[in-house]
Each structure stands twice: as C-alpha cells, then as structure tokens.
C-alpha cells in the first residue's frame, strides 16, 4: 500500500493506519493526503471535558507536500504551516458536542438508525451551525470530523 493510499484509507475509514507515521498520533484536519497534525497530549478522554492538544509540525507539512502535492519544497512546507488551525480540539462526550481542529462544531448523535446509508455514514453527525446532518461524503466533512470525535470519545463512538 502506498503512503497516499494509506492516508486516504485512514481518512475515509476513520481507522488508524501505521503507514509512514500515519497512526493514532496523527489527526487529519482535511481530506487530502498529509493534511494532518501531531497529537501532543490527550486529557480527560470520554468525559464532558475531553481535550486533545495538537501541533502542526514541519513533519506534517512535509507529509502533505510529499503525499498530496508530490513535491517537497520550502515554499510548499511554508504554505502548509501557514494554515490557521487550532492547537487543540475538544468535546463533551456526554452531549456529543465537539469542536474540530479547524474550529468547526458538530454534534455526535450515535449510530445511524437507518444503518449504513448509501454514503456509508455509520454514525449521525450534525453541523451545529446549520443543524443539518452530514451525509457521509468527503464533501460534507464527515470523514474528517468523525475520527476527531472518536479520538476524544472512543468509548462512545465504537
């Protein structure tokens, strides 16, 4: 499996994949290969005050430039590191409300009662700003948001 395919698998399936550093210590903030940050600490997981602190490191920017852009240059790395991201993401594992590393807020409602829909969304996520459910597609942000909730509240999102 190539690094890029492994990265896509990790984002799409929400599974930790140990391909060239793509593991549970990396969190994806976007849908493209290498759009990742490094986990610095995990605190109070599975509680109403779960927090994961992250850093957008040079190694993360290099991963994006290598795996997506396919050209690691100083400009590519600098441009990637210039992207504004939070240094943490957090959630309330009791209510399901959480904010991602890219500052988007969602509410996790548990398993999809309709089962796995055509788009494959096993769980129901609602965009807190629009009150609309994510349809499971990459465009909706579901494959990026869900793994962040699962990292914060692993006992609830199995």
Does some domain include residue 158?
A: no
Segment 78-116, tens digit of pLDDT: 999 999 999 999 999 999 999 999 999 999 998 887 765
If one counts the domains in the chain, the total is: 1
Would the pLDDT of 65 be above 50? yes
Would the pLDDT of 15 be above 80? no
- What is the mean predicted confidence (pLDDT) over 31-39? 93
pTM of the model: 0.80
Does some domain include residue 97?
A: yes
- What is the mean predicted confidence (pLDDT) over 42-49? 97
Does some domain include residue 157?
A: no
Range of the domain at 34: 3-152
Does some domain include residue 109?
A: yes
More confident residue, 107 or 5: 107
Kindly report the backbone phi and psi dihedral angles of residue 89, in degrees, each rounded to the nearest multiple of 5, phi listed first: -135, 155
């Amino acid at each position: 499996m190539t690094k890029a395919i492994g990265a896509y698998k990790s984002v799409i399936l929400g599974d930790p994949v140990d391909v060239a550093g793509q593991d549970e210590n990396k969190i994806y903030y976007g849908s493209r290969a290498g759009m990742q940050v490094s986990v610095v600490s995990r605190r109070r997981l599975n509680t109403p005050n779960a927090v994961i602190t992250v850093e957008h490191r040079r190694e993360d920017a290099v991963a994006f430039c290598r795996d997506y852009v396919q050209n690691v240059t100083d400009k590519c790395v600098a441009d990637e590191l210039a992207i504004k991201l939070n240094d943490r993401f957090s959630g309330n594992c009791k209510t399901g409300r959480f904010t991602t590393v890219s500052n988007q807020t969602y509410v996790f409602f548990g398993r999809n009662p309709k089962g796995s829909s055509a788009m494959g969304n096993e769980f129901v996520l609602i965009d807190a700003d629009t009150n609309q459910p994510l349809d499971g597609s990459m465009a909706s942000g579901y494959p990026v948001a869900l793994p962040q909730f699962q990292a914060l509240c692993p006992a609830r999102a199995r």
